[in-house]
Amino acid sequence: MLRIVACALALTLVAPARADTGDDAAGALREDGSVKVRAQAAIVLGQRGEPAAVAVLAEALASDEAPAVRIAAAGALGRLRGDDARTALELARRSDADRGVREAASLALEALGLAFSIEEPAGNAGGAAARSALRQALARHLSARGWAVVERGGMVLKPTVLRVDVKEGTGRTEVAVKAALVAVDFDGRMAAMLESGARLSAAGAVPEARLASYASRALDAAARALCEDLAARLAER
């Protein structure tokens, strides 16, 4: 695993000009004599997200002599998804001679199994801490409860923190949150638009240092409801 991390870090530090654009990347991956250029080309192809790149990446994963290039190709295939990408990754996981490549293929297959991505949450309510808490909670609950999402590769989820309110009075403190979630399918069509909220209350005044924890717990509850509603909504399609 350390080898994979080291390779990934090294590749992010180099950006050879010959692999800067998607138009050049496929040719560079096939023909360039530099391991760094070929690996960077694989990364570029994965970032561009064009399904047509699956074939050249699968070829590199199967036949490039450099493990670093095959590792980069595996990661790129994990981003592109699709049956052909999965087939190439399964073959590498089973039979590649390099352990690092086999591990990279396994990680990419795990990413394919999740079959969803979560964008950075929008909204100013609660600040960066609330956005981070919502994103983490969605990832947790989707893995456990997003059955219908898992069945649909390429689903992109766009969350928003709509409200984080703290109300004090009458001997109690109440934290109320509201969040929204838009799901866009692999064709770019909106699959669902949902909202959910949650409230937590405590007797007396809650110290300011603990309010963030209350808000995080409330956002977790809202995220759980959003994930369950999303799974139910997609199951109806």
> 7: which 2 tokens?
């390779």
- Domain coverage including residue 201: 116-235
Looking at the fold, whether 122 and 189 belong to one and the same domain comes out as: yes
Angle at 184 between CA 183 and CA 189, to 5 degrees: 135
Looking at the fold, whether 102 and 120 belong to one and the same domain comes out as: no
Looking at the fold, whether 212 and 139 belong to one and the same domain comes out as: yes
Q: Tell me the pTM.
A: 0.53
Cβ burial of 155 (10 Å; 0-12, 13-18, 19+) is buried
Looking at the fold, whether 42 and 86 belong to one and the same domain comes out as: yes
Residue type present at position 52: A
pLDDT score at 14: 39
Q: How, if at all, do strands 116-118 and 155-169 pair? A: parallel
Looking at the fold, whether 109 and 191 belong to one and the same domain comes out as: no
Looking at the fold, whether 15 and 106 belong to one and the same domain comes out as: yes
Residue that terminates a domain, selected from 80, 114, 148: 114
Cα–Cα distance, 62 to 65 (Å, whole number): 9
Residues of the chain with pLDDT under 70: 1-23, 110-111, 113-117, 143-155, 186-187, 236-237
One DSSP character per residue, 43-59 reads HHHHHHT-GGGHHHHHH
Half-sphere exposure of 212 (CA within 13 A, CB side): 9
Looking at the fold, whether 121 and 226 belong to one and the same domain comes out as: yes
Residue that terminates a domain, selected from 114, 139, 161: 114
Looking at the fold, whether 83 and 16 belong to one and the same domain comes out as: yes
Cα–Cα distance, 96 to 62 (Å, whole number): 8
pLDDT score at 237: 63
pLDDT score at 160: 95
Looking at the fold, whether 62 and 164 belong to one and the same domain comes out as: no
Q: How many domains does the chain have?
A: 2
Contact 45, 74 (CB under 8 A): no
Furthest C-alpha separation in the chain: 73
Model confidence pLDDT, tens digit, residues 115-171: 566 778 888 888 898 999 998 898 888 766 554 444 445 567 899 999 999 988 878
pLDDT score at 161: 95
CATH number reported for the structural domain that contains residue 196 in this entry: 3.30.160.150
Looking at the fold, whether 72 and 153 belong to one and the same domain comes out as: no
Residue that terminates a domain, selected from 114, 147, 180: 114
**Buried residues in 8-22 as b, exposed as e (16+ CB within 10 A):** beebeeeeeebbeeb
Looking at the fold, whether 100 and 173 belong to one and the same domain comes out as: no
> 115: which 2 tokens?
């079959």
Looking at the fold, whether 74 and 84 belong to one and the same domain comes out as: yes
Cα–Cα distance, 228 to 191 (Å, whole number): 15
CATH number reported for the structural domain that contains residue 29 in this entry: 1.25.10.10
Question: Among candidates 52, 57, 64, which has minimal Cα distance to 87?
Answer: 57
